[in-house]
Amino acid sequence: MTKAKLGSLGLSLLILVLLVVWMATGDVKVASKEAPDEPQVQEAERIRVEIETLEATRYQPTLKLQGQLEPWRSVMVGARVAGTVERMQVELGQSVRAGQELLQLSVDGRDAVVERWRANIRKLEADLAAGRRLRANNLAAETDILRLQSDLAAARAELAAAELAVRHLRPEAPFDGVVNRKDVEQGDLVQVGTPMLELVQIDRLKATGRIPQQTVKDVQPGQAVEVNLLDGTRLAGVVSFVASAASPETRSFAVEIVVENPEQKRAAGGTANLNIRLPEQDAIFISPAYLSLDDDGRPGVKYVDDSNAVVFQNVRLLSVSTNGAWVSGLPEQIRLITRGGGFVAEGEQVEPVDRSDRRG
């Protein structure tokens, strides 16, 4: 074979190889231009949470305060005139009625003073009558009549003071009460102002306390109060006064409560727990374990709405105990998250499972 033929054959083989390579490259380019099948995206599995359906009910919250009980009225009967205690009419702890005589002080000639002024008044009245007759006949001066009138008025004033001093020798009870303290005995000498007997009225008591400024708006005169004594006794009371301005020291408001004590229990001067009944409102009872705090430290709960999204709602605590908590600020019906709430965030879609179904 000549060299010319060999060269022609080699050229043909080279062209054949290039053609095969070109065709293979073209197939690859065509294939690369075709869009690949979209991979199937698997939907993320929703977190399952346990829920319990709760409904709001009417609830009457109470404001709990620590209070001080005092007698409804208390007075120290003091001596209004000087004298010696001649007789004690009452004993310590005795019940007395208004107007009842408590003791008797020595007269010390005060009755004679009364009689002297009475006689003086009778003489002045006679002198004045005679002077007026003389004046009618122009036999007496007008100044004489005026002097007699002045003397008579002064004598009557002295008589009233003398009679009052005599009445003060027998002090009387100003109201129905109990002798709570006795500072004098028979034979004691007393001066004006000397304390003698203390009377207290305890068939009705007065409870006092302090209301925090964040809850004072809920307390008004006329609201019922349950008063719990330390021995377990319960008394009924009514709010009678709420201060209009807070104490600058405590920033709290004073409250007074009228407490009926018909059995006259010995409670005055002691402490008591005051439960003021606030207006009724809609509330839901939940376990304290379901409460959580937001970023500002305010309490709230998580529940699932109609679209199965997690909702965090702040609540107002009306009452908290070991058994549960009454809260307000929620819809009338909620699906409360009772398990799994710590693993889901607000707005997240979840798969709710009713806890009653799980128990079943």
pLDDT category at 209 given cuts 50, 70, 90 is very high
pLDDT at 128: 87
The predicted pLDDT at position 13 comes to 58
Round to whole Å and give the CA distance between 282 and 140. 91
Of 10-24, 236-250, 272-286, minimum mean pLDDT range: 10-24
Q: Is the pLDDT of residue 359 over 60?
A: no
pLDDT band of residue 97 (cuts 50, 70, 90) is very high
Say if residue 357's pLDDT is above 90.
no
Instruction: Provide the 10 A C-beta neighbour count for residue 170.
Output: 13
Residue 183 neighbours by CB under 8 Å, 6+ apart: 194, 195, 196, 197, 198
Burial of 52-82, coded b for 16+ CB within 10 Å and e otherwise, reads: bebebeebebebebebebbbbebbebebbbe
- What's the Cα-to-Cα distance from 114 to each of 110, 123, 153, 165, 182, rounded to whole Å? 6, 15, 15, 9, 30
**pLDDT tens across 302-322, in order?**
999 999 999 999 999 888 888
pLDDT score, position 34: 53
Is 58 in contact with 280 (CB distance < 8 Å)?
Answer: yes
Percent of the chain scoring above 70 in pLDDT: 87
**Position with higher pLDDT, 256 vs 34:** 256
Cβ burial of 34 (10 Å; 0-12, 13-18, 19+) is exposed
> What does the domain layout of the chain look like in residue ranges?
49-57+282-359, 63-70+201-277, 107-168
Instruction: Work out the average pLDDT over 91-99.
Output: 94
* pLDDT tens string 127-144: 888 888 887 888 778 888
CB-based contacts of 356-359 (< 8 A; 24+ apart in sequence): 356/52, 358/50
CA 175 to chain centre: 31
- Please determine, for residue 41, whether its predicted confidence score (pLDDT) is greater than 70: no
Report pLDDT for 321. Answer: 82
| The predicted structure's pLDDT at residue 8 | 55
Q: What are the pLDDT digits (tens) for 218-269?
A: 899 999 999 999 888 999 999 999 999 999 999 999 999 999 999 999 899 9
Proportion of the chain above pLDDT 90, given as a percent: 60
Report pLDDT digits (tens) over 155-169: 999 999 999 999 999
CATH of domain 63-70+201-277: 2.40.30.170
DSSP structure string for 161-226: HHHHHHHTTS-B-SSSEEEEEE---TT-EE-TT-EEEEEEEEEEEEEEEEEETTTGGG--TT-EEE
pLDDT for the residue numbered 28: 44
- 355 pLDDT band, cuts 50/70/90, is confident
The answer for 213, left when phi > 0, alpha when psi is -120 to 50, beta otherwise, is alpha
Class of domain 49-57+282-359: mainly beta
Q: What is the DSSP letter of 140?
A: S
**Full-model pTM:** 0.65
Q: What is the reported pLDDT for 6?
A: 46
